[in-house]
A and B are shown apart, each in its own frame.
Chain A
């Protein structure tokens, strides 16, 4: 689950809820949807808690290829 983006995790969470709404399934399956859904919700929350905006600057290197370098914020 660690490689999921917020968007992907959220989509899967929605799918788990939709599946549980269906209601016609073995208990085993229902429990699986429930547990997976709760894990995904926790994952989304964690992502948001830990998030920090990453800013990088674009430069052209010696080979003329655009690369990103750490952002140097100018003191305007």
Chain B
């Protein structure tokens, strides 16, 4: 039975005080150098600086008061810096928090975590895990989207909001996991493997919202990188903010800068496709109209051709031809006849001028001997005593040669 009044039952204050005493009387702890990596560094308006010194397996809260900062030649502190800090260990009773009260800081060059990051990155790159050829194209019209993230995170709600707006036709399969802490890397890998085992997924988003380097650190672990590399389903990484690059980002088939960017990349914007459907609808109407107009034209053309083949039309055409030909014929005939007439007239005239009667009219006479009626043209043709007949214009004269 617990006796609350026994001296061994301490109040929290008493215990805290005891611990504080213990720490503050330890010479080693009152002037100690600790090396580690700075993370979660915050400077308050008061000028006091609070940060955590960490390494792979442990961390130590530190406070660097303004007066100490002013006094020391401390460099600008940033997360990820490897440093050695000098100071004293004590207990901040109010918070029950073990702290290093820092007097001075020495920068140490590359942080251990950063080194591990670089080494893992180099090793996986050498294996070809980051090769562009390995990266699979994302499906244009996925039906099922897998999501690996924390169920509590705002990141999940943000992703669902984006998916709902862009492509409500998809189905989402959510595989919950831790996204920070020591168990996170294995949990992320398991959640991704589970999705692959379930199988019926077209693309998967692996990610979480923004945070400090160690909050995102799980996505730099080899376990996660291997799980992404062996994933049969294409992986989109969406970790932290635009400037955060994790190993998961390098291995993934597609890196998105944030979880919402990952959701945007995963699905098409159906609004755009919707507009295309409208365009196609209008195109169909226009094309159909053109088609019908085309047919109407063809019909008219065929109709005209048909008309031309019509026998009545042929007949009319032939009649016309006949008339034309007849007229032509008549014209030619007239022409020929008139030519003939002219020639006849001409011949008649010549004949007339050559006529002996005309010659006789001019005074010449035609003499014939009566014996044989031969025309006399020479004197030897007659002798004295022969009888001749002389033809003149208006009759004959009978005469005897002397």
Contact = CB atoms under 8 A, between A and B. Distances in A.
A21 B287 contact: yes
B280 A5 contact: no
A10 B167 CA distance: 15
A10 B273 contact: yes
Interface residues of A, number: 40
A76 B284 contact: no
A41 B284 contact: yes
A76 B152 contact: yes
A58 B174 contact: yes
Interface in B151-193: 151-154, 157, 160, 163-164, 168-176, 191
A17 B273 contact: no
A56 B163 contact: no
A17 B287 contact: yes
Interface string A18-29: 001101000100
Nearest to B139: A7
B67 interface: no
Given A6-B273, A66-B194, A57 B280 contact: no
Nearest to A64: B197
Nearest to A36: B284
Interface string B278-307: 101101100110110011000000000000
A51 B273 CA distance: 14
Contacts of A51: 168-169
Contacts of A60: 194
Interface string A56-76: 111010000011100111101
A54 B172 contact: yes
A4 to B, nearest CB: 12
Given A23-B294, A76-B157, A41 B280 contact: yes
A58 B291 contact: no
A58 B195 contact: yes
* Interface size range of chain B in the complex: 35 or more
A16 B194 contact: no
Given A7-B141, A56-B174, A16 B284 contact: yes
Given A5-B141, A38-B281, A53-B168, A48 B274 contact: yes
B173 A58 contact: yes
Contacts of B273: 6, 10, 44
Interface in B14-56: none
Interface string B105-146: 000000000000000000000000000000000001101001
Contacts of B276: 10
Nearest to B195: A58
Given A58-B174, A58-B195, A53 B164 contact: yes
**B171, B278, B288 pick with most chain A CB within 10 angstroms:** B288
B198 A48 contact: no
A23 B291 contact: yes
Contacts of A5: 141, 143
A72 to B, nearest CB: 8
A66 B169 CA distance: 23
B169 A47 contact: yes
Contacts of B170: 53-54
B10 interface: no
Contacts of A17: 280, 283-284, 287
Given A5-B141, A17-B287, A53-B171, 12 more contacts: A6-B141, A10-B276, A23-B294, A34-B287, A37-B284, A44-B274, A45-B277, A57-B174, A58-B191, A73-B157, A76-B151, A76-B152
22 contacts: A16-B284, A17-B283, A23-B294, A27-B291, A27-B295, A30-B288, A37-B281, A41-B277, A44-B274, A44-B277, A51-B168, A53-B168, A54-B172, A55-B171, A58-B176, A58-B191, A66-B194, A66-B197, A73-B157, A74-B151, A76-B152, A76-B154
Rank and list the top 4 A-B pairs by shortest CB-CB distance, nearest first.
A51-B168, A7-B141, A76-B152, A66-B198
